[in-house]
Amino acid sequence: MCRLFGLHAGHAVSATFWLLDAPDNLAAQSRRNPDGTGLGVFEADGTPVVRKQPIAAWRDLDFATEAREMTGTTFVAHVRYATNGPAEDVNTHPFLQDGRIFAHNGVVGGLDTLDARLAELGVADLVRGDTDSERVFALITASIRGRDGDVGAGLIDALRWLGNNVPIYAVNVLLATATDLWALRYPETHELYLLDRTAANQGRFSLRSKRITAGSDHLGTSPSVVFATEVMDDGRWQLLTPGELVHVDQHLQITHRTALPNPPTHRIARANLSPTEASSQHPSS
């Protein structure tokens, strides 16, 4: 299963990430190897920077295993398990469109239908690779443009269209700007968690899961909000409900709403996933 990690600090901080750090990551033969890793950040002046690397047959592990120290206001990290598209840079998350950074985990079908919708909206040129994720992002970008830049409204419009028109197994997303971060879990297939560290004296910032590790000296005494697809070391994680959209603004104010109360009209059962898709969506991957 693809791993997502989002961090919003509200102001520029330094943080260090290891995207493949657990001791058994390279040795466990029973676990599927990731197909790519990536890290996006908004620097202090609002400039988005995305660094990512496909991992083709483990030929080059340096990017994935070495520490990455970056400074910015908002960070999005992703470890990819491919459902469609080869292990290439254009298919590796996060993606950047209209100055926003996006990462996704799940499976969306009906790509021909989705491609036709993107062409109708005039955003087909935003898709450079082969993934369902980049197509979903292009649909969201078009919807935001149609909503005069209202990211939350555009995100909901796009996901409602997907839920009504194409087969869906899961669509969990992180969408970031330099000042705001949005997270959406849909439906209940995969988990997505929130960690609210906005209260005073939160203590040392050091979070570790099976795939992603993050640490920051600055955030030991500074507030932040974190999202992840699995519970990390800190025990205060809150599970988002299916269809829940969470928005974190520039002041780290957190708002919740049930944006998608109904399950997808054309829901994909696990038994109907292709072997590649089923392998990529397994929680232990």
Give the tens place of pLDDT for each residue, 71-130. 999 999 887 666 666 556 667 778 999 999 999 998 999 999 999 999 999 999 999 988
pTM of the predicted model as reported, rounded to 2 decimal places = 0.90
Highest mean pLDDT among 28-32, 53-57, 187-191 belongs to 187-191
What residues does each domain of the chain span?
3-280
Q: Give the pLDDT of residue 275.
A: 62
- Phi/psi at 64 (5° precision): -75, -30
| CA-atom Rg of the chain in angstroms | 17
Average pLDDT estimate for 124-143: 94
Token pair recorded at residue 237: 């994680």
Q: Give the pLDDT of residue 75.
A: 95
Other C-beta atoms within 10 Å of 209: how many?
Answer: 18
- Model pLDDT for residues 235-283, shown as the tens digit of each residue: 689 999 999 999 999 999 999 999 999 999 998 888 777 666 655 565 6
Kindly report each contact of residues 67-70 with a partner whose C-beta sits within 8 Å and lies 24 or more positions away, as own/partner: 67/16, 67/17, 67/18, 68/16, 68/17, 68/18, 68/19, 68/39, 69/14, 69/15, 69/16, 69/17, 70/14, 70/15, 70/16, 70/17, 70/39, 70/41
Report domain 3-280's class. alpha beta
Q: Give the pLDDT of residue 277.
A: 61
Q: Give the pLDDT of residue 88.
A: 60
* Terminal Cα-to-Cα distance of the chain (whole angstroms): 5
